[in-house]
Amino acid sequence: MKNKGYMGKILMVDLTSGEIQEEALPDPVYEKYLGGMGLGAHILYTRIPEGADPLGPDNMLAFLPGLLTGTGSLFTGRWMVAGKSPLTGGWGDANCGGTFAPEIKRCGYDGIFVKGISEKPVYLYINDHTRELRDASDVWGMDTVETEEYLEKHAKANGKKPKVVCIGPAGEKLSLISGISTDKGRMAARSGLGAVMGAKKLKAIVLSGQKRINAHDREEMKRLSRMCNKWVQFQPPFVNGPMTAFVGALLRIMPTVLTQDGMLYKILLKKWGTVSMNQMSPEMGDSPIKNWKGTSSDWGFKKSYSSNPDVFKNCEIVKFHCYSCPLGCGGICTMDKKYSHTHKPEYETVLALGGFCMNEDVDGIFYMNELLNRAGMDTISAGHAVAFALECYEEGIITKEDTDGLELTWGNSEAIVTLIERMVKREGFGHVLADGVKQAALRIGKGAEAFAVLAGGQEPAMHDSRNDPGFALHYSVEPTPGRHTLGSHLYYEMFKLWTVVKGVPKIPPMYLKGSKYKNPEKQAAIGAANSRFMTLVNCTGACLFASFLGAKRFPLFGWINAATGWKLTPNEYMNLAGEIHTVKQAFNVKHGIEPKNCKISERALGRPAQTEGANKGRSIDIEMMMTHYWEQFGWDSQTGKPSQETIKRLSDGV
Amino acid sequence: MAYLITENCNGCTSCAGLCPVEAIQGEKKERHVIDADFCIECGACARICPQSAVQDPSGRIVQSEKKKYWKKPAFDYSTCMACGICVNACPVGCIMFGQPSLKDKNAYPELADPGTCISCGFCADECPVEAVMLMPPGEEQIAKAG
């Protein structure tokens, strides 16, 4: 056990042979790759062989807590899963909160790495004395909530409930948009990594450890946490739910923008959670509507009112805090349909199954949220697949004969719910959509791909890249494409990195909206700083939303030094993060990904530009931004690939 | 570092029965041994030992105390963030989230099972905002009052 925040060991599990071995890691590995995402990138880059089948035995799946998890810092209870994505063919990762992350460290590990394929369904059980693969035939076929309840009951040890991550039927049936669930409905949803777990016949991981997690200077950790918490608890009264729409409308109408301070978003998140954006985002042009072809005018106040934030707050019975989170943006809600409780749907889910499909039925959204969580299917990708089908139906590419009689018209809630039910079961037309938009377009053919909006094979999230070119850039250039949690211009404004990191672009207190669409070199520099910082966030197990507080109120760099005893400057950490980011890009190159092919679809770039709504006339010069972004990391400006010398250096390891 | 059972041990097994990580081995009426690889330094073995036969990691003999006098966690709800750090830190699972109130939908931690508390203090140690304190039995209200 070390007094450096990390445990100094990882666990390697081979499902084919059944071997489980601890592996000690030397300090220089942590000094270079930190932990969490960085540690995962290092191990997976060096150990997954070139060309490995994502659903084959050579692929590895990593479950990673953060470097700061359990050290006394706040907002650092997120865990990550990483592996080669069957959805994109390249680096895949997904990030999740809940209470699972500290349990990995309490079992004594900074990561659990799984390779091979088991002959029969198994789950991995670890406590202080035991590490074993157990028969999972009893739970194979159960949904994620049933699985967790069963394993909590049957694998209980030391009086404490064990912590569980598991897949549902979607992962078992190798859906390429399936994720991994914990805390009965929180999902590491993106990149299709649930299918990797399903292919390995690994139903769940059950942990029940009691080890201490020691920080180098816990008093300093606490001092920084108390400072951060003061900002979190500052919660002035705020407008009611529907009034958020007017804030959004104001942001749309104004030609200039005041640089955003994350305190506004903190206040919204603490009061409502991410659903606070349900009306504000569409009004300001941040939400893609109607499979990216609609505008803010198509999903105006009257339509979005059905999912106004107060609807969700009013049926919330208890707030849900992830481990070490003083804010609590999550919640458990009651509902009238088949299931009595559900995790409060996130903004992404509400929009993907709501405005994105022109669906005003909020009860249906609650139900589909729970259904997808139980199946272990990504709500963002599932919503995309449905909206894609609705447009194909509108265009006459598919008919009722193809859809098993479903009338797939925009906003037809009954048909949308039935379609989702069939997707999770892979029944009939549901099977066509069950692997996401890319596979659906291939299966339908007849030119359907014209309506597919993708980045590197993954469905982008519910933040419109035409409204914020930063989203366009990060959807297109991140080693795991199509992700909304890795950077945007708005995020960068809120991070306020220039207050602690030297040499990164500073955003003026007020600027013209149009300036974001010019000067691709500066936008790329902002994007690179974003990527570096978010890499640090994902190495430490920190929360994106907490980062909105700003670099001075959310003392990430100070926490890392206090937890580890290192004495690095913010700039030195940003440089390390750049190296880790390069490892992920090198992973993609090793596995045959052409970075320039990950560019998001033309429609999401405003090509052609929309003729009405919040994003009227906007289009993004993404190619120039991508080129300059790659230069920021020293990668080839034309191909986006790290140099051969860099790749050799990374392959040699520490 | 770990706790150590000295030769004064009479093998009563009290410590082994209480150890939350099953780190103590030994036959009845024979000297017991703590496996340092598993010991989490909760000190329960030392507090319960009727022979006062257990050394703490700094080498000091810990005086035993009747379990009913052991300090237990009390919560200052004016400071508590409902972040769950104390719930996770507890090695015996005696701290759990309570029910939210009508005014406040946060679920705050409470000592749900005082009988299993081993007075390790990890909850107080790990709480970043000092909202958890170990208090003698009967004085919990002092903490609750902030």
Give residue A44's pLDDT band: very low, low, confident or very high (50, 70, 90). Answer: very high
pLDDT attached to residue A93: 98
pLDDT attached to residue A2: 63
Q: Which residues of B100-138 are buried (b: 16+ CB within 10 A; e: fewer)?
A: beeeebbbbbbbeeeeebbbbbbbbebbbbebbbbbeee
State mean pLDDT over A517-539. 97
Name the residue in chain B with its Cα closest to that of A163: B88
What are the tens digits of pLDDT across the range A197-227?
999 999 999 999 999 999 999 999 999 999 9
Instruction: Give the C-alpha separation, A651 to B134, whole Å.
Output: 51
Residue B41 with chain A: CB contacts under 8 Å: 212
Q: What is the DSSP string of A332-350?
A: EEE-SSSSSEEEPPPHHHH
Q: What is the DSSP letter of B131?
A: -
What are the tens digits of pLDDT across the range A320-340?
999 999 999 999 999 877 788
Tell me the two tokens of residue B94. 């005696």
Q: From residue A500, how far is each of A261, A573, A580 by CA, in Å? A: 16, 12, 21
Q: How many CB atoms lie within 10 A of CB A139?
A: 20
Measured in angstroms, the CA of B120 and the nearest CA of chain A are apart by: 12
Residue B106 with chain A: CB contacts under 8 Å: 318-319, 321, 328
Mutate to test the interface with B, among A128, A131, A224, A332 (most CBs of B within 10 A): A128
Cβ within 8 Å of A, B 48-77:
none
Residue B19 with chain A: CB contacts under 8 Å: none
With beta carbons less than 8 A apart as the criterion, state whether B72 and B47 touch.
no
B3–chain A Cβ distance below 8 A for any pair? no
Instruction: Give the C-alpha separation, A314 to A317, whole Å.
Output: 8
With beta carbons less than 8 A apart as the criterion, state whether A428 and A404 touch.
yes
Instruction: Identify the residue whose tokens are 């309490």.
Output: A106
What angle is formed at CA A101 by the lines to CA A97 and CA A103, rounded to 5 degrees?
140
Instruction: Give the C-alpha separation, A289 to A577, whole Å.
Output: 34
- Which secondary structure element, helix H or strand E, spans residue A631, and what is its range? helix A622-632
A242 or A615: which carries more pLDDT confidence? A615
Cβ within 8 Å of A, B 82-111:
82-85, 88, 90-94, 99-100, 105-107
CB contact under 8 A, A161 and B21: no
Mean pLDDT, chain B, whole residue set? 94
Q: How many CB atoms lie within 10 A of CB A611?
A: 8
What are the tens digits of pLDDT across the range A97-142?
999 999 999 999 999 999 999 999 999 999 999 999 999 999 999 9
Instruction: Give the C-alpha separation, A491 to A516, whole Å.
Output: 13
Sorted by sequence, the CB contacts under 8 Å of residue A544 that are 6+ apart come out as A485, A491, A534, A537
Strands B132-135 and A330-334 come out as: unpaired
Mutate to test the interface with B, among A106, A212, A315 (most CBs of B within 10 A): A212
Which stretches of chain A sit within 8 Å of chain B by CB?
A: 70, 72-74, 77, 99, 102-103, 106, 128-129, 158-161, 210-212, 218, 221-222, 225-226, 229, 232-233, 316-319, 321-326, 328, 331
Instruction: Give the C-alpha separation, A547 to A492, whole Å.
Output: 10
Instruction: Give the C-alpha separation, A278 to A332, whole Å.
Output: 18
Instruction: Give the C-alpha separation, A394 to A330, whole Å.
Output: 36
Q: In A340-483, which ranges are continuous DSSP H helix?
A: 347-353, 362-375, 379-394, 413-425, 429-433, 437-444, 469-477
**φ, ψ dihedrals at A107, nearest 5°:** -85, -5
Residue B20 with chain A: CB contacts under 8 Å: 158-159, 210
Measured in angstroms, the CA of B130 and the nearest CA of chain A are apart by: 9
Q: Is A608 left (phi over 0), alpha (psi -120 to 50) or beta?
A: beta
Local structure of A28: helix, strand or coil: helix
Instruction: Give the C-alpha separation, A338 to A70, whole Å.
Output: 37
What separation, in Å, do the N-terminal and C-terminal C-alpha atoms of chain A show?
Answer: 22
Mean pLDDT, chain A, whole residue set? 96
What are the tens digits of pLDDT across the range A84-109?
999 999 999 999 999 999 999 999 99
Name the residue in chain B with its Cα closest to that of A210: B91
Of residues B90, B105, B128, nearest to A225 (C-beta) = B128
What are the tens digits of pLDDT across the range A431-486?
999 999 999 999 999 999 999 999 999 999 999 999 999 999 999 999 999 999 99
B20–chain A Cβ distance below 8 A for any pair? yes
Sorted by sequence, the CB contacts under 8 Å of residue A114 that are 6+ apart come out as A13, A15, A60, A61, A62, A63, A124, A200, A202
Name the residue in chain B with its Cα closest to that of A270: B106
Whole-model pTM: value is: 0.97
Measured in angstroms, the CA of B10 and the nearest CA of chain A are apart by: 25
Sorted by sequence, the CB contacts under 8 Å of residue A152 that are 6+ apart come out as A161, A162, A164
Sequence letter at residue A438:
K
Tell me the two tokens of residue A375. 């199946």
pLDDT attached to residue A646: 87
Residue A1 has pLDDT above 90, yes or no: no
pLDDT attached to residue A158: 62
Residue B107 with chain A: CB contacts under 8 Å: 318-319
Of residues B40, B105, B128, nearest to A212 (C-beta) = B40
Sorted by sequence, the CB contacts under 8 Å of residue B17 that are 6+ apart come out as none
Instruction: Give the C-alpha separation, B9 to B54, whole Å.
Output: 8
Q: Is A161 exposed, middle or buried (0-12, 13-18, 19+ CB in 10 A)?
A: middle
What are the tens digits of pLDDT across the range A228-270?
999 999 998 877 888 999 999 999 998 888 888 999 999 999 9
User: Virtual CA dihedral for A543, A545, A551, A553, nearest 10 degrees?
Assistant: -100
Local structure of A2: helix, strand or coil: coil
B112–chain A Cβ distance below 8 A for any pair? no
Q: What is the DSSP letter of B74?
A: E
Measured in angstroms, the CA of B31 and the nearest CA of chain A are apart by: 22
In whole angstroms, how large is the CA radius of gyration of chain B? Answer: 17
Sorted by sequence, the CB contacts under 8 Å of residue A193 that are 6+ apart come out as A61, A81, A82, A83, A85, A92, A93, A94, A178, A179, A180
With beta carbons less than 8 A apart as the criterion, state whether A170 and A377 touch.
yes
pLDDT by residue, tens only, chain B of 146 residues: 799 999 999 999 999 999 999 999 999 999 999 999 999 999 999 999 999 999 999 999 999 999 999 999 999 999 999 999 999 999 999 999 999 998 899 999 999 999 999 999 999 999 999 999 999 988 776 666 54
Q: Count of A–B CB contacts within 8 Å? A: 93
Measured in angstroms, the CA of A83 and the nearest CA of chain B are apart by: 28
